[in-house]
Structure 1
Amino acid sequence: MNFQDLSNKALISDSDIDWEDLGAGVKRKIMAYDDQLMLVKVDFEKDAIGTVHNHPHLQMSYVAKGSFEVSMGDDKKILNEGDVFFAPSNVFHGVVCLEAGLLIDIFNPHREDFLK
C-alpha cells in the first residue's frame, strides 16, 4: 500500500472530527487508529472525573492542557500541562480534572470498545 492509499487516515484535520459527548463534563475525539494504535483527544471541564478503570491495552496520556489528579494503582499525583502518565495493561487508573484540561491518549492496540 502506498502513502496515497493512506492519505485519508494519515493526514487528519481536527475540524473534520466531531466531539463525542460522554456526559459529566467529558468529551472525546478519536483522531486516528489502525489495528495496533489509537490516538484520542479527551476534553475535561473542571471537576470532571475519568472514572477509575482498567483495560488490557497499553495507554500513554499527555496532559496537553490543564491539571489533573491522576490515580495509578495505589499511587496518586497531580500532573500539569506537559506531563505524561503511562497505564500498563490491567492497572486501575483514573483522573480528576482540577482545572479545565485536555488529555491526548494513545492506546496499543486500538480500543475496539470506543468504536462501537
Structure 2
Amino acid sequence: MNFKDLTNRTLITDNDLDWDDLGGGVKRKVMPFDDNLMLVKVAFEKDAIGSIHNHPHLQLSYVAKGSFEVSMGDDKKILNEGDVFFAPSNVFHGVVCLEEGLLIDIFNPHREDFLI
C-alpha cells in the first residue's frame, strides 16, 4: 500500500494493512496518520532487539503483548502487557523482547523516516 493512501484515513481495518519485515525478528505496521500523529504496531519475536536509538519525535509506547526490557537513558526496567513507556525527544531508548510481544507506538509528529 502507498503511504499516501494512509494519510488522514479515519476508519481502519487492520487486515487491510501489511507488515514490513525489519529483520532480526521485528516487523512493523504503519497505521494511518497525519502530520502531527502516527500510530505504529511493532511485533517482536522472543529475544528480538529494538536497538538503542533516539529521535526528535515524542514517543509513547504501550505494551500490548509480551514482556520487554526497556532502556530509557540510563534506566532499565522490565515492562509487561498493559505497561507504558514515554520517550522524550532525543532521549536514547531501546528494547529487548523477553517473550513474544507487541508494542503500540505513538509518535508526534509522524515519522517521515518510516515512510521511505
TM-score w.r.t. structure 1 length? 0.93
Aligned position for 1:76: 76
Give 1:99 deviation, angstroms.
0.1
Aligned position for 1:105: 105
| Deviation by residue 1:19-78 (Cα, 9 ceiling, x = unmatched) | 000000000100121000000000000000000000000000000000000000000000
- Separation (CA, whole Å) in 1 of partners of 2:32 and 2:26: 19
Which residues of structure 1 form unaligned runs of 5+?
Answer: 1-7
Which residues of structure 2 form unaligned runs of 5+?
Answer: 1-7
Q: Secondary structure, in 3 states, of the residue corresponding to 2:30?
A: strand
Runs of 4+ off more than 2 Å = none
Total equivalences in the alignment:
109
CA RMSD, 1 decimal: 0.7
TM-score w.r.t. structure 2 length? 0.93
Do residues 96 (structure 1) and 100 (structure 2) align? Answer: no
Mapping of residues 35-50 of structure 1, within 5 Å: 35-50=35-50
Structure number, greater radius of gyration: 1
Q: Secondary structure, in 3 states, of the residue corresponding to 1:55?
A: coil
**Percentage identity across aligned positions?**
84
